[in-house]
Amino acid sequence: MNRYREIKDGRLYFDGCDTTEIARRYGTPLYVMSHSALMDKINELKGDFIEKYPGARVAYASKAFCTLGMLELLKREGFCLEVVSGGELYAAKEVGFPPEMIEFNGNNKLPSEIDDAVSYGVGRIIIDGLKEIPLIIDSCKKYGRKAGVMIRVTPEVTVDTHDYISTGEKDSKFGIPLDEEILFPVVKEAIESEYLEFYGLNMHIGSQLFEVEGFLKALDALMDWAGKIKEEFGVAIREVNFGGGFGVQYTNEEVKPYRYFLDPLMEKLQERADEIGIPCPVAIAEPGRSVVAEAGITLYTVGQIKEIEGLTKYVSVDGGMGENIRVALYQAEYNGIVANRAEDTPDETVTVCGKYCESGDVLIKDFKVPGTIRMGDIFATYSTGAYGYSMASNYNNNPVPGVVMVREGKSCWMVKPQTFSQIIENQLIPQLL
Ligand code: LLP
């Protein structure tokens, strides 16, 4: 139980709101985000990093949960923002996110996206392609601007996480390889162009990580190359981006505070900078999941229940892989509760599944719920705030659910649910038919 979730009168409350009441009022399936939980993470990052280390910045990885409300909150809190597409940048512009606070990442930025980024004046473009610099320079010429750039490198570390979310290995589509013949020409171009201002190096080794060792190894590799860049070009890197990836609790993982990762990273950064003989670079962290995951739950209404004697009891809910693809995609495990029977003993093992035409459409496999569970009950899955809404699909023409914000007993819409007509609004009967 995290501190935003409480059981009262047999029901689940989230940030002071009765979730069964929220389900009744707003309908299900429904994503629910706790303002208090978001603020706790924001404040933890301020205390552990932004206010502790001079110049340190947090660029929230918007891919985890990119909505206007979330971006507005971060803007007000003075956070930076990492975007990886024209679409995420568009949302940032919509809330008037200060351009200099935006970092644009991505392994295949489209020329049109680079145009958008340069014309808006984003603070940093993170180079992650061998032929990217000419595109950036073209845009700079077009808009008469200079662009701040960093270079994302592949630090060649292996981390303990799902293969699909491990990104620091040599065999990765992300990052420029740490190889003189490949990296140096990119650095040279970045340093020499009158259109670019070169700031430093980026890494992101993977996601849902619980140990600092991988980060430290990667930072070591990155700083080795900061040393080589100094030797070769006489240039001191001024910034280092540690990436994101800090792990969260889905079931019973033991979550570490940000300082567990960031203090040793900062210590190493200073140590290695001293060794190379450059001022300690400004550090940037890029968390996504850890800011939003535990701040979100998803509410469902229980429908059909099917028991196969001696095998499995399936409890179907009114959503599924459309708003939570993570189970099918990464075999992710979740925890949850029957929100209106929160005090009944969980004495039956069931598989909670969705309504999509796909056998892999499961939310929680082999999960204990009260045997009293029946149609019309409200089921809540926990820790769904990250990569749920942002990875939602319209499979089976199911609309993407809305998002409600809850805050100390109050609630309001953050995103309205999609309608059937919105799903088909761009579809045409072709003239050639
Ligand atoms: N920075 C970069 C360059 C990234 O690629 C990512 C995530 C982050 C920061 C943020 O990582 P986080 O703190 O959220 O772990 N859809 C997957 C996760 C993909 C992560 C992609 N990159 C999932 O649902 O587990």
Which run of H or E residues covers position 102? strand 102-104
399's tokens: 């609309």
* Dist. CA 427–CA 409, nearest whole Å: 41
Are 207 and 165 within 8 A, CB to CB?
yes
66's tokens: 């990119």
- Kindly list the averaged pLDDT for each block of 10 residues, start to end, along the chain of length 433: 87 98 98 98 98 98 98 98 98 98 98 98 97 98 98 89 76 92 97 98 96 97 98 98 98 97 98 98 98 98 96 97 97 98 97 97 97 97 98 98 98 98 98 97
* Dist. CA 361–CA 375, nearest whole Å: 19
What's the pLDDT score for residue 134?
97
Are 165 and 172 within 8 A, CB to CB?
no
Nearest CA to ligand 1 atom 16: 387
Q: Is 30 in the pocket of ligand 1 (CB under 6 A)?
A: no
Nearest atom within ligand 1 for CA of residue 246: 13
Tell me which amino acid residue 377 is.
D
Which of 153, 207, 250 is the best mutation target for the ligand 1 pocket, counting ligand atoms within 8 Å of the beta carbon and taking the most?
207
Residue 400's φ and ψ, nearest 5 degrees, are -70, 130
What's the pLDDT score for residue 402?
98
Choosing from 66, 353, 357, 412, the catalytic residue is 357
Nearest atom within ligand 1 for CA of residue 287: 13
Q: Which residues contact 28 (CB under 8 A, 6 or more apart)?
A: 299, 300, 301, 317, 318, 319, 378, 401
302-315 burial: b if 16+ Cβ within 10 Å, else e: beeeeeeeeeebeb
* Dist. CA 21–CA 378, nearest whole Å: 10
Q: In Å, how far are 96, 144, 203, 285, 306 from 244, measured between CA atoms?
A: 24, 32, 9, 6, 41
Are 45 and 24 within 8 A, CB to CB?
no
What's the pLDDT score for residue 293?
98
What's the pLDDT score for residue 299?
99
Length of the chain, in residues: 433
Which of 63, 169, 253 is the best mutation target for the ligand 1 pocket, counting ligand atoms within 8 Å of the beta carbon and taking the most?
63
pTM over 0.85, yes/no = yes
Q: Specify whether the backbone of 316 is left (phi greater than 0), alpha (psi in -120 to 50) or beta.
A: beta
In sequence order, the β-bridge partners of residue 239 are 200, 282
- C-alpha closest to that of 59 among 202, 253, 200, 183: 202
Ligand 1 midpoint to CA 287 (Å): 8
Ligand 1 midpoint to CA 235 (Å): 30
What's the pLDDT score for residue 162?
79
* Dist. CA 433–CA 427, nearest whole Å: 13
What's the pLDDT score for residue 153?
97
What's the pLDDT score for residue 70?
98
Nearest atom within ligand 1 for CA of residue 208: 15
Q: What ranges make up the beta strands (E) of 238-295?
A: 239-241, 282-285
From the CB of residue 121, how many other CB atoms can be counted at a distance below 10 Å?
15
Q: Is 287 in the pocket of ligand 1 (CB under 6 A)?
A: yes
Q: What ranges make up the beta strands (E) of 120-187?
A: 124-127, 147-154, 176-177
Q: Is 204 in the pocket of ligand 1 (CB under 6 A)?
A: yes
Q: Is 280 a catalytic residue?
A: no
Number of separate helices (H) and strands (E) present in the chain: 12, 21
Q: Is 387 in the pocket of ligand 1 (CB under 6 A)?
A: yes
Q: Is 35 in the pocket of ligand 1 (CB under 6 A)?
A: no
Q: Is 334 in the pocket of ligand 1 (CB under 6 A)?
A: no
Which run of H or E residues covers position 200? strand 196-202
Are 283 and 269 within 8 A, CB to CB?
yes
Q: Is 217 in the pocket of ligand 1 (CB under 6 A)?
A: no
Ligand 1 midpoint to CA 4 (Å): 24
